[in-house]
Structure 1
Amino acid sequence: MLIIWIGLGAVLLFAAQAWIYSHYWEKGLSAELLFSRESAVEGEECLLLERVENRKLLPLPMLKVKFQVSRNLRFSDEGDGAVTDKYYRNDILSLGPRQRVTRKIPFLCGARGYYRIRGLDLVAADLFLTREMIAEAEADTTLYVYPRPAAGVELDTALQKLNGEILAKRHMLEDPFEYRGIREYAAFDEMKTINWKATARMGELMVNMRNFTSLRAVRIFLNLEDSGILKNDRLVELCISIAVRFAGELLGQGIRVAVYANGRDVLTGEPMKMQPSAAPGHMESINRAFARLDLEKEVYPFSEVFERELEEEGKDIATLFLSVDRSAAFQELIRHFAGSGADFSWMCPLFPRMEGLVEDAEKLHFIRLNAEEMLNGK
């Protein structure tokens, strides 16, 4: 008889706990995911904070926290996760009454990008681990991973030469709003340059001498098309890294920088168009725009989206093209641009075994860079 009562009690206990857990396991339960910072650079280590809190007296002997994120974020502790097109993580923990658990999960930022975690699943079990209950929790956290600036001996030499040419031209343009003194009138001077007060004081015609100003801007154009039979995403990404390196150096010298790229923004779907600026925070804006470029989607035709910008004239603008695309159409575009007399260079990172396939390379200001050296230096 005792055995019957024990068995009946066990059945009632099992049924009671099953009913209690099915109705109350979610009560007072919260979970959130947060990246430890808003931005990082490719190759840096970052943390994902996982916080789970049980604010009730009912314990949770087993709770699974499931979410998915890009496989470009490489977790050192993969837990019970799986990697396919995305990384699917499954963390298992146990929560007592009124307990909070915070985990710091390290990961490596494996590639440039804009990463977002939206939502997570909570899977709990009853006291005897015989039944699972599932619920969705809200989560929304984002991380910008900026491209790592490119480095390499050959690149350093090319950028130093290009930077030197730009600096040499900084003081060749007169500023109509700033004066550095007066001098006697000459036959080639315009009437509007005459300083009448100084003329009256000196008794002869005197003219203002204008000061010189720096380059109005340096424009960086990235053609992210790859018309080759075998696509090489590493070379396209390398162009972005070179652009980041050069933009940072120019802004550090107070030179205004504009950046244009024909990739699609992952948030807006628009091409990248960063207007000339040297204001504080401009490099941050450039990095964020690069992080949001989605190269898995088809890029815009280069000549079409930047037709107006390419036709802009001005001796106070220097232009850098970055493109691994060496198609006849792109070479013709560069050839046409060269005919305008504009100051420009075309940099192209290639592996040593790859052919340049560029006619009139000198006329097109073509600079071949050793991609292998830069990639191996990362």
Structure 2
Amino acid sequence: MKIRGWAILILALILAGTLFRVQWLVGLGIATGGVLGIAHLWRVRVLQNIVYRRSLIYTRGFPGETLPLRLSIENQKRLPVTWLRIRDSWPLNLAPEERDSLAPSHVPGRGYLTNIYHLWGYRRVVRDFRLRLGGRGVYSLGPVTLESGDPFGLGECHEEIEMPATVTVFPQLVPRSHLELFSEDPYGERGTRKRLFEDPNLTIGVRPYTPEDTFRQIHWPATARTGQLQTRVYQPISAQVMMLCVNVATSEHPWLGTLPEVLEHLIRVAASFCYYGIEDGYAVGLAVNGGLTSADQLMQIQPGRTMDHLAILLQALAGVTPLITHPFERFLVHTASHVAMGATLVILTAVINPSLIEAITLIKRYRHHLVLVALSEAPPPSLAGVKTIHYPLSSEVKGKKE
């Protein structure tokens, strides 16, 4: 019954008791009004100064690992809370080891991390969980719903808090032995790993011209100033640079849908190349023609070789979606034109078609370090000057059985 209905009932009891001189009716009306007033004021104040906190020491990890989670709820007022139910929207791939902690939800792939508390004034309760990480992805936590009511059970109140937070589950790595990398030259580089190249995009000075210099190296403004031919001096860079270009298409016709198993296989192999490349001392960059969980824009990460950079690469791969932002052939040619000279270009794809072969042939005219990693079931064609690794999904399944 609404407040107006209760008010009419209470007034009727008091008037009836007064007119007919029935004292217990008057007392009943006053007592009922007092109880309803207390219940209303209790519901108005019960959720005030309630502080809910999540404490995640680590916010990223690999599938199968566990992360510690601490939940704390504090009542920062004198008024006690007879009961408090907290429902935290939670992804199923971050479920606590105690499966009963997650209640069903109407949102696919999510549940409610539900806890019920009884809090006296100025009291705090802490609960610890272990989260077991499932499939790769970037998962959002929240929102949080607080529910409570008056001690008489006459009504309830609730409040929703956003409390945004994210947890990243990195892609599962493929064992190095399963990738069948080249033993002497794993990522397609030739000669010594300490050789230096020059980046034509980074000029650091000039020097006098020598017969070995090419026409493009001549610095014409400096030549005009000095009256003698001057040559550009470029920034030297290490040959240990690898740019990984990933095609998220899983079939010839992406508009017909995505094959989830093939996409996950593709992401696992990409993450493995990033991990083992940095482990071997390479500066690794990443370019993917697929959208991210939080954006649908083109993703390109410049090469780096630190462990922090590796975390950035793995986090980016964790959030890759099947949404194709650019056709891979044009995307590949555009990316290759912006990669430093001397770097290795690793092309990772599950779809081999004539357009891709044509794009690789075009890139091969001005790049000497190309590796094609084909995840298609059929072996890729042999291309002159291009090293090829064939690693279909069936190879991974076989490796797991062994």
For 1:313 and 1:259, locate their aligned partners in 2 and report how far apart those are by CA, in whole Å.
Answer: 11
- 1:218 matched to 2:245? The reply is no
Task: State, as a whole percentage, how many aligned pairs show the same letter.
Answer: 16
2:259 alignment partner, one of 229, 232, 251: 232
For 1:41 and 1:85, locate their aligned partners in 2 and report how far apart those are by CA, in whole Å.
Answer: 22
TM-score (norm 2): 0.72
Q: Say if 1:257 and 1:59 are closer, same or farther in 2 by CA, change over 3 A.
A: same
Q: CA RMSD in A?
A: 3.6
Q: Say if 1:93 and 1:27 are closer, same or farther in 2 by CA, change over 3 A.
A: same
Partner of 1:93 in structure 2? 116
Counterpart secondary structure, 2:315: helix
CA contact (8 A) 2:90 2:110 kept: yes
- 1:116 matched to 2:140? The reply is yes
**Structure 1 alignment gaps of length 5 or more:** 177-187, 191-211
For 1:82 and 1:174, locate their aligned partners in 2 and report how far apart those are by CA, in whole Å.
Answer: 58
2:129 alignment partner, one of 105, 127, 143: 105
CA contact (8 A) 2:61 2:168 kept: yes
CA contact (8 A) 1:62 1:92 kept: no
Q: Say if 1:9 and 1:313 are closer, same or farther in 2 by CA, change over 3 A.
A: closer
Partner of 2:396 in structure 1? 374
TM-fit CA distance, 1:122: 0.8
Q: Say if 1:2 and 1:373 are closer, same or farther in 2 by CA, change over 3 A.
A: farther
For 1:321 and 1:238, locate their aligned partners in 2 and report how far apart those are by CA, in whole Å.
Answer: 15
Counterpart secondary structure, 1:221: strand
Runs of 4+ aligned residues of structure 1 deviating over 6 Å after TM superposition are 1-10
For 2:381 and 2:331, locate their aligned partners in 1 and report how far apart those are by CA, in whole Å.
Answer: 25
Instruction: Point out the structure with max Rg over C-alpha.
Output: 2
Q: Say if 1:12 and 1:175 are closer, same or farther in 2 by CA, change over 3 A.
A: closer
For 1:24 and 1:167, locate their aligned partners in 2 and report how far apart those are by CA, in whole Å.
Answer: 73
TM-fit CA distance, 1:34: 3.8
Richer in strand (by share): 1
Partner of 2:225 in structure 1? none
Q: Say if 1:274 and 1:315 are closer, same or farther in 2 by CA, change over 3 A.
A: closer
TM-fit CA distance, 1:24: 1.1
TM-fit CA distance, 1:270: 2.1
Partner of 1:330 in structure 2? 356
CA deviations 1:331-377 (Å, max 9, x no partner) are 33234334545221211235xxx444x44467764422143453564
1:1-378 superposed matches below 5 A: 11=32, 14-76=35-97, 77-79=99-101, 81-83=103-105, 84-97=107-120, 98-151=122-175, 153-155=177-179, 157-158=180-181, 160=183, 162-163=185-186, 166=189, 168-173=191-196, 214-228=238-252, 231-279=258-306, 281-293=308-320, 295-311=321-337, 316-340=342-366, 342-350=368-376, 354-356=377-379, 358-360=380-382, 365-374=387-396, 377=400
For 1:314 and 1:57, locate their aligned partners in 2 and report how far apart those are by CA, in whole Å.
Answer: 66
Q: Higher relative CO (CA 8 A, sep ≥ 6), structure 1 or 2?
A: 1
Amino acid at match of 1:91: T
Partner of 1:180 in structure 2? none
Q: Say if 1:364 and 1:166 are closer, same or farther in 2 by CA, change over 3 A.
A: closer
TM-fit CA distance, 1:324: 0.7
